[in-house]
Structure formats: structure tokens, C-alpha cells
């Protein structure tokens, strides 16, 4: 059977696509199957999922098209209308090989409960230079604008030893950087008997030599003193923290159901930036949330101005069916939400430039990811995207020491330093 897995959405979805690719590569039988790992985080994500299903049905008329994942739980009817032959939700996603075989043989399959996360393992290599390692699923934060927690099931964490064995396999598959991901990493371990913290998990992972680790995103409540100490002490834990903010106004944060205040967010961010060598910050902001007036938006801008994030992901609020926020009064007009988003984009470019300029003349460790025109391009440990002239004899997937020599609005240039500084091998 020829199997193609298409992933939309977040890193967790990308990891699961790899998992399904590996599990389905030995699927018996003739023919072609396209699996779409769908996303339902926004109305746009739903549209993209439907569009891809319809496109595959149109372009591959003889193939079986299967829609799985968050969209399958959150927007099932639309996927069936788009032509999906089979729609499989998150609870059953990991059992897709059995479900597909039963479907192809016309045999009904009994439903089962949510699988343990340690059963979900990949061996790699991933198609990209950076590997993904899913260690957590589910969320109980229940933010009022969010659908994800409604479709991702109960909290489930991968025990540290199981995660370490998987990281070992990914290192042996040739990956030098592993991105640790989950739906809400701040809730890692809460469901496990020993309740290991995220810091405990990372200490276990750091016992695998030859790789560095990066966290996808972490809510402020997840940045514990123990984790901050580990970031400060361990160079193989990439000093970049992507910490969703959403709003800089306490009244809006409360209406969103977030677990922190603007002051707490600021304190966590500043403690990270001051305690961790070469640290940089990333943030998510949701503009146009119901009740966000001009003063509230100004507080968001003021907070970000004080923190100067390297990366800022700006989302415009879109009401999601079945979420409490969709019923809130004080809707912000679309034009005004667009204006606020545009204002933040301009500021975000200025903040990113200022942060990158601070690293001029600094030695950083670049993961070489791809060739782009006359450049090798990749990301440093603190997540600067850097280009190195192709004249340098580099190889994709290696980590090389570079000095930042030029920073412009859309580009940072590095030169390779001729001293061996591969952060992966040196024991911590």
C-alpha cells in the first residue's frame, strides 16, 4: 500500500505525522492512502483541512483519503462533506493501522480508550534536520478562546525513561537537535504516579550525548525555579523560550482564563533573560479578544516593548464554536483587530532587529538546516536564523560555531569560526 501522511498545524501534529508514517509504511495491500492530520485551532485551520481533503479526492480519485486528528473531533461534518472516506479522531489516531486494515476488510472495530503516551514512539529520521519529540498531550487549562483542549483528551505524559529511549533513537538516526513538544508542556507529568516535573524530564533527556534540546512553547506557569536553574546551567538546553502571552492586560487575561497576570509574565520573562546566557524570548499574542479596548491593547504593546521578543506570533481572535469566549460581549471590529495586528507586526520587526544586533560579534552554535541560494541557513541555539556563505564546506544537520558579523532587517549573516565547538559532544 502506498501511504502518504500530510500534517497541518502544530509541532505535536507534525510529530504524530511522522509516527503514522512509520507505523503505516508496512500497511499490506494494493492501492494508495492519503492521511491528513488535521487542525482546528482557528476557522482558517478548519478551512485548510477541508481544502486539502477535497484537493486529494479530486487529484487522486482512486485513493483512500482519511482525515484524522483535531479537525476530525472538532469539525467532522465538514471533512465528510469535503469527501473524506474515513474520519478518525485523536483518541483512535495511534490505532490507525488496525483501523485502516479493518476498514479495508469491512470488519467493524471495537472502540478503545485513550492510549498511553509511551506507546507512541518514533525512531526517525524526520524529513527535517530537527527532530520532534512529543512528551505530553491534553490540557486542563481550558482557556476560553481555545478548542484544542476540547479535542485533545485527558492529560497524558511520556515517562522520562521512555522519552530518553526515544531521544537516543533520534540521536542515532543522526539528529543533533531535538525539539521537545506537547499540547501544554507546563502540565507535563501531572498525570504520572511520581509526578516528574518538566525539569526532571529534561535532565533525563540530557543524559543522551551528542544532541541539544529545544522546547516548542511553554506557558509562564511552567517556568519553575528548577527549570530556570537547568536552563542557566545546561548549554545543551537551547536558551530560547517561546512563552505565549496572549495579552498584556489583566482583565483580558482573566477573561481568557489564562493562569498568570501581566506582571507575573514579565517577571518570568525577565528572570529567564537575565539568568540564562545568550537567552532570547518568543511570544504569542492574540489581538482583538472581546473586551480588548485601546487601553488594554496599549498595555500589551508596553509589556512587549519592555521585553523585546526575538519572535512574535500575532493571531487575530476568531470566535470558535463551543468556546465560552464566543459568547462574550465587546466584540472588536475586524478592521480594528487588523490595525492592531499590523501595528504589532511593525514593532515586532523592530524588536527582532534590536535583539539580533545585540549578538553582533558573538560566537553562537548554528544548526545547518538547508541551502538557500548562496547561503547555508539554520538556527543558532538562541533561535537566530543565520546564513553562512556557501563557500564554507558545511553539511546539513551539523552544528558549527559561527560569529554573527552582519544583521539586517530580514537577514543575519555569520562566519564559521575555525575552532571545534560542537556543543553536542561536550559533557555538561
The residues binding ligand SF4 (CB under 6 A) are 139, 141-143, 146, 148-149, 183-184, 219
Rounded CA separation 16/34 (Å)? 15
Q: Is 230 helix (H, G, I), strand (E, B) or coil?
A: helix
As measured in angstroms, the least distance from the Cβ of 246 to ligand SF4 is 8
What the block records as the C-alpha cell of 320 is 470558535
Rounded CA separation 174/352 (Å)? 31
- Closer to ligand SF4 by CB, 191 or 413: give it: 191
Rounded CA separation 210/175 (Å)? 9
CB 266 within 8 A of CB 223: no
What is the widest separation between alpha-carbon atoms in the chain?
64
As measured in angstroms, the least distance from the Cβ of 169 to ligand SF4 is 27
As measured in angstroms, the least distance from the Cβ of 342 to ligand SF4 is 24
Question: ∠ CA(38), CA(41), CA(44), 5° rounding?
Answer: 80
- Closer to ligand SF4 by CB, 103 or 145: give it: 145
Could you tell me where the DSSP H helices lie in 257-413? 262-275, 294-307, 334-357
Between strands 64-69 and 86-88, the pairing is parallel
- Closer to ligand SF4 by CB, 182 or 387: give it: 182
User: For residue 190, which phi and psi values (nearest 5 degrees)?
Assistant: -60, -20
- Closer to ligand SF4 by CB, 142 or 173: give it: 142
Nearest-CA neighbor of 339 among 293, 287, 409? 287
What the block records as the C-alpha cell of 250 is 489583566
As measured in angstroms, the least distance from the Cβ of 139 to ligand SF4 is 3
As measured in angstroms, the least distance from the Cβ of 187 to ligand SF4 is 8
Rounded CA separation 279/384 (Å)? 11
- Closer to ligand SF4 by CB, 3 or 146: give it: 146
- Closer to ligand SF4 by CB, 14 or 382: give it: 14
- Closer to ligand SF4 by CB, 217 or 382: give it: 217
- Closer to ligand SF4 by CB, 114 or 149: give it: 149
As measured in angstroms, the least distance from the Cβ of 409 to ligand SF4 is 31
Q: Which residues contact 226 (CB under 8 A, 6 or more apart)?
A: 197, 199
As measured in angstroms, the least distance from the Cβ of 194 to ligand SF4 is 23
Q: Which residues contact 286 (CB under 8 A, 6 or more apart)?
A: 145, 246, 247, 256, 315, 316, 317
- Closer to ligand SF4 by CB, 146 or 205: give it: 146
As measured in angstroms, the least distance from the Cβ of 39 to ligand SF4 is 12
- Closer to ligand SF4 by CB, 4 or 149: give it: 149
User: For residue 58, which phi and psi values (nearest 5 degrees)?
Assistant: -75, -45
As measured in angstroms, the least distance from the Cβ of 390 to ligand SF4 is 40
Rounded CA separation 135/120 (Å)? 9
Nearest-CA neighbor of 336 among 271, 278, 289, 391? 289
Nearest-CA neighbor of 148 among 227, 86, 219, 209? 219
As measured in angstroms, the least distance from the Cβ of 354 to ligand SF4 is 28
Amino acid at each position: 500500500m502506498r501511504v502518504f501522511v500530510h500534517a497541518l498545524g502544530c509541532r505535536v501534529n507534525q510529530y504524530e505525522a511522522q509516527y503514522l508514517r512509520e507505523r503505516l509504511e508496512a500497511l499490506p495491500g494494493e492501492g494508495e492512502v492519503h492521511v491528513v492530520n488535521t487542525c482546528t485551532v482557528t476557522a482558517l485551520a478548519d478551512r485548510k483541512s477541508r481544502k486539502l481533503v477535497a484537493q486529494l479526492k479530486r487529484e487522486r480519485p482512486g485513493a483512500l483519503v482519511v482525515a484524522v486528528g483535531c479537525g476530525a473531533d472538532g469539525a467532522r461534518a465538514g471533512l465528510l462533506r469535503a469527501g473524506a472516506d474515513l474520519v478518525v479522531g485523536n483518541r483512535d489516531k495511534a490505532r490507525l493501522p488496525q483501523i485502516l486494515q479493518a476498514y479495508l476488510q469491512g470488519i467493524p472495530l471495537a472502540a478503545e480508550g485513550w492510549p498511553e503516551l509511551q506507546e507512541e514512539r518514533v525512531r526517525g529520521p524526520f524529513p527535517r534536520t530537527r527532530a520532534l519529540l512529543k512528551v505530553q498531550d491534553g490540557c486542563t487549562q481550558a482557556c476560553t478562546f481555545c478548542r484544542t483542549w476540547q479535542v485533545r483528551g485527558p492529560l497524558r505524559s511520556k515517562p522520562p525513561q521512555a522519552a530518553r529511549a526515544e531521544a537516543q533513537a533520534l540521536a542515532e538516526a543522526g539528529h543533533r537537535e531535538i525539539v521537545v513538544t506537547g499540547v501544554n508542556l507546563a502540565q507535563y507529568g501531572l498525570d504520572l504516579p511520581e509526578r516528574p516535573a518538566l525539569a526532571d524530564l529534561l535532565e533525563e533527556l540530557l543524559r543522551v550525548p551528542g544532541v541539544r534540546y529545544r522546547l516548542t512553547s511553554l506557558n509562564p506557569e511552567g517556568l519553575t525555579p528548577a527549570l530556570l536553574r537547568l536552563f542557566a546551567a545546561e548549554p545543551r538546553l537551547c536558551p530560547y523560550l517561546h512563552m505565549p502571552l496572549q495579552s498584556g492586560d489583566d482583565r483580558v487575561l482573566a477573561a481568557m482564563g489564562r493562569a498568570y497576570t501581566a506582571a507575573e509574565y514579565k517577571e518570568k520573562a525577565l528572570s529567564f533573560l537575565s539568568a540564562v546566557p545568550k537567552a532570547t524570548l518568543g511570544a504569542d499574542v492574540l489581538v482583538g479578544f472581546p473586551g480588548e479596548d485601546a487601553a488594554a491593547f496599549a498595555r500589551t504593546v508596553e509589556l512587549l516593548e519592555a521585553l523585546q521578543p526575538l519572535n512574535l506570533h500575532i493571531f487575530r481572535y476568531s470566535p470558535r464554536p463551543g468556546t465560552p469566549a464566543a459568547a462574550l460581549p465587546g466584540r472588536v471590529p475586524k478592521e480594528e483587530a487588523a490595525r492592531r495586528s499590523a501595528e504589532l507586526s511593525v514593532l515586532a520587526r523592530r524588536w527582532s532587529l534590536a535583539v539580533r544586533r545585540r549578538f553582533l560579534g558573538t560566537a553562537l552554535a548554528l544548526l545547518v538546516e538547508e541551502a538557500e541560494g548562496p547561503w547555508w541557513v539554520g538556527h543558532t541555539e538562541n533561535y537566530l536564523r543565520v546564513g553562512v556563505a556557501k563557500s564554507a564546506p558545511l553539511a546539513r544537520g551539523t552544528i558549527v560555531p559561527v560569529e554573527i558579523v552582519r544583521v539586517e532587517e530580514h537577514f543575519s549573516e555569520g562566519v564559521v569560526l575555525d575552532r571545534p565547538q560542537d556543543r553536542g559532544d561536550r559533557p555538561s
